[in-house]
Structure formats: structure tokens, C-alpha cells
């Protein structure tokens, strides 16, 4: 007996599920019979515009070893044009906005042999099936992996940065590094979200008069952000001219789970996997937990001081000789372009002001200040 209705269009025929279960359990498909299966939503409270749903599929199969239990993770990915948030995009810009977010990347990564090419210490879930649902969506079926977070103390950040440096410079990884169906450059971000949404909002007097913004960011920080916004074109051009290496694209702590061996990491969520300026992954590693209120911005400076040299050591371990000052500058520019400019809590301006949101705004202001200071320090 099976009930996987919660999967909707992401479900597969029982024959296909039997094949995946056989693969997962290490049997020939002809030796496996599906006895029962159920699906339930996987709880996840952070929005993702290209994710239609996350699920567990569990059940029992009859195998040569007897009745065996199984559990498979299913991720339904889609074009962000199907996200409710897409309605906020002006109609004239929708085609360009849709093209900016590469929903197909994750299915393409799981169809590649990247898992066999990762440097020692890095892992990714084993794909059991990647199913195209229609022209704008797909389902990825993966082995169950631990959802445990590693210890994110300073040593943990340092180890992660080293491994991300190895990932960026690995010759084995480079051969499957670019799976996008279009070339992407930092300039595309300026021509898209940054130029069309973030910078206009940053220059809006109405936004700065909002108590959630004015109370946390203040006059001095407003002036610094607006001055930097006036140099956005030059800053993006400088960042875009940096050496390109492989990037996970969203290497925040939430996407770096504990690996099977001590001090190893399990990479998940490959939606923004792409060649990018050197040091690109350091940005989200540094600020990801601060942005969601899990870590104090007071720890930004000591963490940044540790992760940049660790990343460079990772580059060196793979034979890459990009100078550390170049990595540090690229990291500073990336942090401003992709985090500092958009630090204002734009998404909360229509929400009731609560102590929690006020803390979010103060943390965001600290991140913006840090990014500006870092750009100034690396000039």
C-alpha cells in the first residue's frame, strides 16, 4: 500500500521507485519488490524561489535480505517564474529575471560525475534519480544524508574555507564546473537584480524613512552605502575581472552539512554552482548564519581573518597560485556587491515592527558596515 500524493507532479511510477530503492539498497531491480511507501513534506523554514517542495519518501521493500526499510529525499525544483514572489517582478523585466536564476543547474549537477571528482574531505549526496517533469521543473531523488550541522566554531569555519579553496582550484572538478546553459558573469547581476531592484530601493528616501531602516542603519551608513552605490559599475567591473574558479555558489553553513568522516563536509543545494571570481564562496560562508540571526555579527572580523588564508591554503593544495591579496580583494568586492548593497531589510518593510525584526535590521547594518570597511581596507 502506498500514498505519495503529497509529492504531486514530483512523484514517479512504482517501477521507477523500485529501481531507485534497489540502487539504494544494493540489489538488482529484478530482485526487489516494493511493499509500501509514503511521502511527507520535509520541514524547512527558509524560502527558496526555485524549490517547489522538499519531501521524504519512506517505505518497505522485499529484497534478497528480507524486508528492508528505505528512505529517500526528494527535491522538486522549478523555474522561479513559478514562485509566488515572481509576481513582484515588473512585467517588462520578467524574461530577464527568469533567466537570471538557473533552476536547471542542480539537476544538471546531479546528472554529472561531480561526486567522484570532489577533493578529499568533501562529499555530496548520491543521486538515485533525476526526473524532468516539464519544461520548467524537475525532481531530484537522493540518498538520505545526515542533516547534522558541523561545529561552526572558528576551527570549523577555517576547515570549511580550506575545503572550499580546494574545491575552487581542483582540476578534477573543473571539467564539470560549468553546467549552466548560459554564460553568467557578475555583470549580469548588476544588469539584473542589483540594478533593477536593489540600487533603486537603496536610493529611495521612503525606504530610509522607514523606522526599521533609519533606526538601525543611521545617517552615516546611509551616506557610505549611497556613495558605494554610485560606484557600483566600477566595483562590479573590478570584481568581474578577477580570476574565475569553480564556486558552489551558496556556501552558507546551512548548505555544508557534517560529512561521513571527521572534519569532512557534505555539500548540498547546487542551484548556483558556477565558475565565479576567486573567493566567491567565502561571502556566504562568512555571513550566512549572521543573515538568519544564528550568529552574532561581532564574530565577522575574527572569522574573516581566519577563512581567507585558509581558503588560499586550499588553493595552494590544488596547485593554484592566485596571490592572497587578490583573493582578499575579490572577497571584499563580492561581499559588498552580493550582500552589502542588499543588506537593508527590504523584505520586512511591510511587516509589523517587532524586537526580533529590529535585531535583524541591526545585524544587517553590521554586515553592511563590515563589507564597506573591507572594501576600503583592501584598496
Residue 15, pLDDT score: 96
Does any domain span residue 58? yes
The confidence band for 228, taking pLDDT boundaries of 50, 70 and 90, is very high
Q: Report helix angle 280-291 to 154-169, nearest 10.
A: 150
Whether 165 and 69 share a structural domain: no
The confidence band for 94, taking pLDDT boundaries of 50, 70 and 90, is confident
The domain of 236 spans 146-377
The predicted-structure confidence for 72-83, as pLDDT tens digits, reads as follows: 999 999 997 887
Residue 149's SS3 state is coil
CA angle 143, 148, 150 (to 5 degrees): 125
- CA gap 229, 226 in Å, rounded: 5
Does any domain span residue 139? no
- CA gap 64, 41 in Å, rounded: 30
The predicted-structure confidence for 299-340, as pLDDT tens digits, reads as follows: 999 999 999 999 999 999 999 999 999 999 999 999 999 999
Percent of the chain with pLDDT over 90: 79
**251 pLDDT above the threshold of 90:** yes
Whether 159 and 31 share a structural domain: no
- CA gap 280, 321 in Å, rounded: 16
Residue 183, pLDDT score: 67
Whether 129 and 83 share a structural domain: yes
When divided into structural domains, the chain yields a total of: 2
The predicted-structure confidence for 192-220, as pLDDT tens digits, reads as follows: 889 988 999 999 999 999 999 998 999 99
Provide the β-strand partners of residue 307. Answer: none
The region of weakest confidence among 10-19, 92-101, 317-326 is: 92-101
Residue 21, pLDDT score: 98
First to last CA, the chain: 65
Whether 260 and 294 share a structural domain: yes
Whether 219 and 337 share a structural domain: yes
- What is the domain-level CATH number for residue 261? 3.90.1200.10
Residue 101, pLDDT score: 76
**181 pLDDT above the threshold of 60:** no
Higher-confidence residue of 56 and 50: namely 56
- CA gap 335, 372 in Å, rounded: 9
- CA gap 141, 130 in Å, rounded: 6
Amino acid at each position: 500500500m502506498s500514498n505519495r500524493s503529497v509529492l504531486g507532479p514530483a512523484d514517479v511510477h512504482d517501477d521507477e521507485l523500485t529501481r531507485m530503492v534497489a540502487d539504494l539498497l544494493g540489489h538488482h531491480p529484478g530482485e526487489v519488490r516494493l511493499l509500501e511507501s509514503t511521502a511527507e513534506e520535509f520541514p524547512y523554514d527558509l524560502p527558496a524561489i526555485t524549490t517547489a517542495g522538499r519531501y521524504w519518501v519512506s517505505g518497505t521493500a522485499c529484497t534478497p535480505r528480507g524486508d528492508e526499510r528505505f528512505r529517500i529525499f526528494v527535491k522538486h525544483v522549478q523555474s522561479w517564474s513559478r514562485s509566488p514572489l515572481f509576481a513582484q517582478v515588473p512585467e517588462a523585466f520578467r524574461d530577464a529575471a527568469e533567466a537570471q536564476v538557473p533552476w536547471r543547474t542542480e539537476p544538471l549537477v546531479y546528472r554529472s560525475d561531480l561526486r567522484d571528482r570532489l577533493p578529499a574531505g568533501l562529499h555530496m549526496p548520491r543521486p538515485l534519480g533525476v526526473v524532468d517533469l516539464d519544461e520548467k521543473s524537475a525532481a531530484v531523488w537522493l540518498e538520505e544524508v545526515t542533516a547534522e550541522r558541523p561545529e561552526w566554531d572558528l576551527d570549523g569555519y577555517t576547515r570549511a574555507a580550506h575545503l572550499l579553496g580546494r574545491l575552487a582550484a581542483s582540476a578534477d572538478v573543473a571539467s564539470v564546473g560549468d553546467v549552466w546553459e548560459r554564460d553568467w558573469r557578475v555583470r549580469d547581476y548588476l544588469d539584473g537584480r542589483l540594478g533593477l531592484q536593489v540600487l533603486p530601493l537603496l536610493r529611495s528616501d521612503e525606504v530610509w524613512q522607514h523606522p526599521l531602516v533609519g533606526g538601525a542603519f543611521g545617517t552615516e551608513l546611509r551616506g557610505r552605502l549611497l556613495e558605494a552605490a554610485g560606484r557600483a559599475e566600477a566595483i562590479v567591473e573590478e570584481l568581474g575581472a578577477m580570476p574565475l574558479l569553480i564556486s558552489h555558489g551558496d556556501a552558507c553553513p546551512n548548505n555544508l552539512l557534517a560529512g561521513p568522516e571527521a572534519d569532512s563536509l557534505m555539500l548540498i543545494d547546487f542551484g548556483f554552482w558556477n565558475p565565479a571570481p576567486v573567493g566567491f564562496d567565502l561571502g556566504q560562508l562568512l555571513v550566512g548564519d549572521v543573515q538568519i540571526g544564528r550568529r552574532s555579527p561581532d564574530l565577522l572580523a575574527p572569522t574573516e581573518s581566519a577563512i581567507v588564508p585558509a581558503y588560499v591554503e586550499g588553493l595552494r593544495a590544488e596547485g593554484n597560485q592566485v596571490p592572497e591579496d587578490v583573493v582578499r580583494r575579490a572577497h571584499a568586492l563580492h561581499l559588498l556587491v552580493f550582500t552589502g548593497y542588499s543588506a537593508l531589510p527590504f523584505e520586512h518593510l511591510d511587516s509589523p515592527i517587532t524586537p526580533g525584526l529590529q535585531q535583524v535590521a541591526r545585524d544587517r547594518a553590521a554586515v553592511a558596515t563590515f563589507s564597506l570597511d573591507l572594501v576600503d581596507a583592501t584598496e
